[in-house]
Amino acid sequence: MTLQLNQTVPDFSVATTEGPIDFHDWIGDQWAILFSHPADYTPVCTTELGEASRLQPEFAARGVKLIGLSVDPLDDHLGWADDIRDTQGHALNFPLIADQDRIVSTAYGMVHPEADPKVTVRAVFVIDPQKRLRLSLTYPPSVGRNFDEILRVVDALQTSDRATVATPVNWRPGERVIIPPAVSDERARELFPQGWEAPRPYLRYTLLPS
């Protein structure tokens, strides 16, 4: 199964390090980031969970919940959490799903049928409050994820939703945005009274009010 952008993501009921959850209910009216790990006690994932825990307050400030997943049992997760705290300097501060039966990883298409599931279960899903998939990323086992980039993506998605804009390459909050071609100049004058710069008719840059 391959999830498509803007598709409603599958719901599920699972055990986590913070107790049982029903995923859609757990998301509530917030955003969520579900990210998976091949197995417990793997070195790259240990660093990732430490970094995600460090950045968790930044995500929370944007109305985003973090939730991790590994295919190992819950008891292993609890021991791994101790290692994450001791080696990375940040204690796990969000739920970690125990997906030993592969229910979630199968529903989300994380496991390639011809590969070792402990290698292939490695993905990121950004989910909005309507439970729609807004972005997905898949990484190889040798490359650690960039959580600063994931945070930037959240800022871009939320800005696009709020202001009817697109964001250019390498965009960061406070930088100029793009007025989408689907927005006519007449409508743009209503939405963006501050005006815009247009080096080409299809490329209109504007700065959003602070």
Domain range summary for the chain, segments of one domain joined by +? 13-159, 164-206
- Would you say 133 and 139 are in contact if contact means Cβ atoms under 8 Å apart? no
- By C-alpha distance, which of 33, 45, 44, 57 is closest to 150? 33
- Cα 141 to Cα 122: distance, rounded to the nearest angstrom: 7
Catalytic positions are 45
At the topology level, CATH places domain 13-159 in Glutaredoxin (3.40.30)
Q: Is residue 160 over pLDDT 90?
A: yes
Neighbours of 80 (CB within 10 A): 23
Q: Which band of pLDDT confidence, cut at 50, 70 and 90, is reported for residue 39?
A: confident
Q: Is residue 61 over pLDDT 70?
A: yes
Q: Is residue 10 over pLDDT 60?
A: yes
- Cα 193 to Cα 205: distance, rounded to the nearest angstrom: 13
Bridge-based pairing of strands 123-127 and 96-98 is: unpaired
Q: Which band of pLDDT confidence, cut at 50, 70 and 90, is reported for residue 38?
A: confident
* Tokens standing for residue 135: 């972005």
At a CB cut-off of 8 Å and minimum separation 6, what does 53 contact?
84, 88, 90, 91, 92, 93, 94
Q: Is residue 113 over pLDDT 80?
A: no
* Tokens standing for residue 34: 């579900």
Q: Is residue 66 over pLDDT 80?
A: yes
Give pTM, 2 decimals: 0.93
| pLDDT value of residue 118 | 58
Which comes out higher in pLDDT, residue 110 or 135? 135
Q: Is residue 117 over pLDDT 80?
A: no
CATH for 164-206? 3.30.1020.10
